Structure 1
């Protein structure tokens, strides 16, 4: 599949007409952070209509927790139990270096996290790009996370064993308004956001459009991160009990990478805060300085353009039934430069050119039958996606800049096709709520073919394919089909409006990661072939990761306090890990690990005084491999009983909000326990705690504005030195193969927002 936005966008516009929507665009608020039932519309909501372990963050919470940049949706989850999110910068602009773990599972959107917009899984984080940050979070009405068992009608995408992150759009205000927000701070951080709402027009039409620019210098080393975004949404009721909506967005980001640390550098108390890519080329240019100059900061950067359009069409044939159709199209195109090689003979600067597109739809019929509700739905997606890279070139460093050296990779990768029909049944029996569902997942994995690059110059991908002498020997693997049946069941008993007990079971899935497998084989083809291992052997070994999940939770409280404990258990089969094979002498992915996760979560909130709210969460997670892992060549990795990499056993978050005369002061402390950088637990990373402070002032009808807000964000208030990010993409066995990044230092940002 290779569609263009010029072709698809008109089709979606014609098919969907216009849009529908809800809530009012607002500035940052610092209202009470006590957690109550969803009807209270407070800081974190527990939906009363669902049995799943689901937390809903309304708009004011998203605005508060995502900070001044409002680009990284993971930050909105920061105070939930069993959620660990960190980054290499304070603003979330270093998009591919901001990982998320949920109950210890790495939450990458190319395998294990379902991340949707209006229920549609458009956009994946791949090739060091990050379509998950496609939307300005100012344009969300709410954001939610489901942990553990995923209901059949949720969790669409490449996988959901780490959970389901759902983003809902703010489709527009009923009244006309203009919102402006300006932020400035450390490292020349600056952000300007503007949104215009039309209000409801005489035709019942509602429109909104927004634009933003965000930029900052890197806090260590040279370079910048920048992001620009334009969005538009339109909503319109149509004849025949039909509403329709369209949302479109174009996003571009440019960033210089942060240089990672190796494990030995993490042993220093300074955490190498001053260590990064070189700020200037070392002279004389040539072989003696090559290994230094590939680490020049401007040779380690990326730029991507991203675009998406989605439509929501809702038709109500009767008062008790709804038919919903949601088509979508998304894509990204750009490039990435990176240092490559560790010897003079192999060193170069590589450029990967990446283009990916995906088109799909969901359809659902929902009907109420007395107290019961039945949903029948289907998701289809055709994803022309990376990885593995189809176009990768190597460049030499000369006195006049980069000069073409050779092609490193030239390949064709067929499409990934997804089919997911589902059935969901819900009913209430007095105070008891029952959910039962089943989803069938069928994924058609692509074939891959590598092409000879001998004699090819610095030409385009299409020209190179045409000029190639043909497929390369040993670099082809046929596609395959993977499928699974995923049941779920949940019970919830509401004793009163504040007290409930719930139990859920569900089976989740995750697609295996193919791209690095191909790249590793191509780079080490002779080593694999000498041991009788072909690319097809490795391709055929990739399996769907499956997890069985059980949650037992409760909630107790009143209008001024609550306590919500949860016990959880997960069993993971065919878990994909990267392991070192001493016979081949290479690290590569294998889908043959099993692991067991068991733990407990606790959420607490209390409002002892009218002006004071206290909140906190804690979690314990024993997430261990329950057997040793065998490599393709037959060697064994000693993983049994070892904690999964980058999965802290202990997490804790605690905070308070004091409010008076329009002012709010909110300190928050986050604690992250000890972690390991590898699955044999040889690389131990110390625990840490970080304190953030937010001061906010908000007043309506002042100085001619409908609303004025002023805030001051003090991040890492005590300038704690620590390792924030452990980047191993998947769970790694080989010691010294993991990358580490220090956390950002004390950072200050001030913001002023007005609404007309």
Structure 2
């Protein structure tokens, strides 16, 4: 008997009567809208290895901001996500600040998906473009990736899939008002039309504002979303969702390694509040910010032609426009510059699939995925500004280029089924990965600040330009499960994931004179690049003990073509090349469920090792000593737990997250101390408040002990302590408290 059956039995028997536990509805319209458990039921017969966090986790573990899905999945083993502020909005650089099993995301691909569509990308906006109240559940895929999820520009570390809460069949309205520390305010409203003929519609709007927790600056975010479901009969259904997101915020400054050794003094260090008057002084908060407008449309069309035949078509589109402003220091202070990185790009594609059931033992799925995205990355429009008497003066381009689109095409095939005590899924995807060509142009102080004019007037740079590069790769996957008993199963799974870094272009531009002096073109180095792949294997067990689910597992990853900064004797230069092998392994243990009649818990424990499998030549006369060292920002040990205790209409949920020590360099000389974060969530469920059907009042305290800690380390995996691009470190969010009222009509 699974957990849901147990709970329903409890309800029937009156064990979970309203005066004991305030339990909300389990299933609405086939999706979990107000689920009771933190993690969805583990179906021992499913051929998958996915951890699904329910709306219960979303509302309780997402902190006050309710805007970043990573704050929820951070309670899973081996997931390292500690943002710079409690809102979870400020990424430390131009990528997602998340590591899974020690790995970081590569290239301009994003980690999250919406309804299994890879609409996220980096750099740019839209990272928090879905209000978390509009999410029914969150799937975390970190080892096994089925062929129809292994999509987008990169899947190297896994995917975080947000399942949208579909329009309700009942007319309803949800209002949420939050406020708290650092002038935090958030308003959310969602209206569901209910069923109108064959249609169901919802619309939502939210606004969020928050001062930075350290230094000057703020965050302003607006989200609007519309969803339409059309279901004229039992054979056809269409769901379409449109999202409009505006995100404007100032970034946080970082620390040097030396400053991390005295957090009592430097914890609140940030950019200067007052505009500097000294030339080339770039330390000012309003020169370190970002502003993006993002429009996204996703759809899911289903045709159930027969009981055994299903056709699905999922088109998606994202338009992202905005800019980063950031300071760039130089060893020669006179060359310190403020950079304005203009971004205007689109991501679009579609996933089509046909499924046929031959028998319970044999089901087939054949499909095709097309994904196209405009750069950046790499960057094509980065303007430089010098600081003269406290004012910004245009100083040419750091990057001036025209870039073609990246195109990924992936036909896939999968067979799955169940027979006797076994279940399986076996698939393969043949991927054609086309990296767009780059036409680079000379940039100097006399170039126009208008990009189109600059491209027309600037001289073409053949040394820094490259042709389209295409990779062709097989991406297999396999899952085997064995039902050992009624309440336990063993499984083994394998899949190959992929990624590609595009930073060779920026490296070449920064050191162009050195390369040109040795007669080395970017094309010569570009031709040596390879697609990074990771072969991932999991061994695990799923065990149901009454209302508790246990999931111990072991995993291993073999990474090929990992990028490393190497010295090439044939060219007598250093550059990033895909020549590295890396090895990762570890153990995880997750558990969740009911303890007695009024206590629920969630537990995640993990041990991770991730390192290069060899040393690299760093110059003509020296070799790195990094083989076997833990990669930067990859903690070996993590432990997380949340426990909810129900007392009448009250719910008390303390949570604890422990992260062990990490390093900021691959030589493992820059050690960052371990830290523990303690949060507390208290909710009270009222009835008939201001005419509502039910209202939940919530108080959330984050970092109760006011721990001084480093949240994120900004470092490339192969960065050395003596590197000219040294690691930087961001401090985490201090103690804060927030309150909210959620009214449902």
2:306 matched to which residue of 1? Answer: 318
> Take 1:30 and 1:276, find their aligned partners in 2: how far apart are those partners?
44
Structure 2 matches for 1:598-617, cutoff 5 A? Answer: 598-605=585-592, 607-617=594-604
1:224 Cα deviation (Å)? 0.6
Change (3 A) 1:586 1:77: farther
Deviations 1:351-393 (A, max 9, x none): 1111111221110001111112110011001211201221121
Change (3 A) 1:659 1:382: same
The answer to whether the aligner puts 1:557 opposite 2:544 as a matched pair is: yes
> Take 1:582 and 1:306, find their aligned partners in 2: how far apart are those partners?
45
The answer to whether the aligner puts 1:423 opposite 2:416 as a matched pair is: no
1:91 Cα deviation (Å)? 0.8
Moved more, 374-383 or 694-703: 694-703
Alpha-carbon contact 1:579-1:734 (below 8 Å) kept:
no
Structure 2 matches for 1:459-538, cutoff 5 A? Answer: 459-468=449-458, 470-510=459-499, 512-514=500-502, 516-538=503-525
SS in 1 for 2:195: coil
1:95 Cα deviation (Å)? 3.5
Moved more, 442-451 or 534-543: 534-543
Ranges in structure 1 where 5+ consecutive residues have no aligned partner: 1-28, 33-37
Deviations 1:382-438 (A, max 9, x none): 211201221121223345832222233210111111011111110101221011111
The answer to whether the aligner puts 1:144 opposite 2:133 as a matched pair is: no
Alpha-carbon contact 1:309-1:330 (below 8 Å) kept:
yes
> Take 2:556 and 2:200, find their aligned partners in 1: how far apart are those partners?
45
1:116 matched to which residue of 2? Answer: 113
1:306 matched to which residue of 2? Answer: 294
TM-score, length of structure 1 as denominator length: 0.89
1:528 Cα deviation (Å)? 2.3
2:358 matched to which residue of 1? Answer: 369
> Take 2:73 and 2:695, find their aligned partners in 1: how far apart are those partners?
26
The answer to whether the aligner puts 1:60 opposite 2:50 as a matched pair is: no
Change (3 A) 1:356 1:591: same
> Take 2:22 and 2:564, find their aligned partners in 1: how far apart are those partners?
42
Deviations 1:232-279 (A, max 9, x none): 111112469221121111111111111111111111141612211010
1:73 matched to which residue of 2? Answer: 69
Match of 1:294 among 282, 288, 296: 282
- RMSD over aligned Cα, in angstroms? 2.5
SS in 1 for 2:463: strand
Moved more, 171-180 or 93-102: 93-102
Deviations 1:30-69 (A, max 9, x none): 969xxxxx99972112344533331001222122221221
Match of 2:342 among 353, 377, 389: 353
The answer to whether the aligner puts 1:241 opposite 2:228 as a matched pair is: no
The answer to whether the aligner puts 1:266 opposite 2:260 as a matched pair is: yes
Change (3 A) 1:731 1:695: farther
SS in 2 for 1:80: coil
Alpha-carbon contact 2:180-2:736 (below 8 Å) kept:
yes
Alpha-carbon contact 2:395-2:444 (below 8 Å) kept:
no
2:273 matched to which residue of 1? Answer: 279
Deviations 1:311-351 (A, max 9, x none): 21111221211111111211211112111233333122221
Match of 1:331 among 299, 319, 327: 319
Change (3 A) 1:298 1:138: same
> Take 1:349 and 1:628, find their aligned partners in 2: how far apart are those partners?
36
Structure 2 matches for 1:41-56, cutoff 5 A? Answer: 42-45=37-40, 46-56=42-52
> Take 2:471 and 2:159, find their aligned partners in 1: how far apart are those partners?
21
1:458 Cα deviation (Å)? 4.1
The answer to whether the aligner puts 1:569 opposite 2:556 as a matched pair is: yes
1:608 Cα deviation (Å)? 3.4
1:653 Cα deviation (Å)? 1.0
> Take 1:168 and 1:348, find their aligned partners in 2: how far apart are those partners?
42
Change (3 A) 1:30 1:43: farther
Match of 1:438 among 424, 428, 441: 428
1:209 matched to which residue of 2? Answer: 203
Change (3 A) 1:96 1:244: farther
SS in 1 for 2:524: helix
> Take 1:613 and 1:459, find their aligned partners in 2: how far apart are those partners?
59
Alpha-carbon contact 2:601-2:643 (below 8 Å) kept:
yes
1:701 Cα deviation (Å)? 3.8
The answer to whether the aligner puts 1:716 opposite 2:703 as a matched pair is: yes
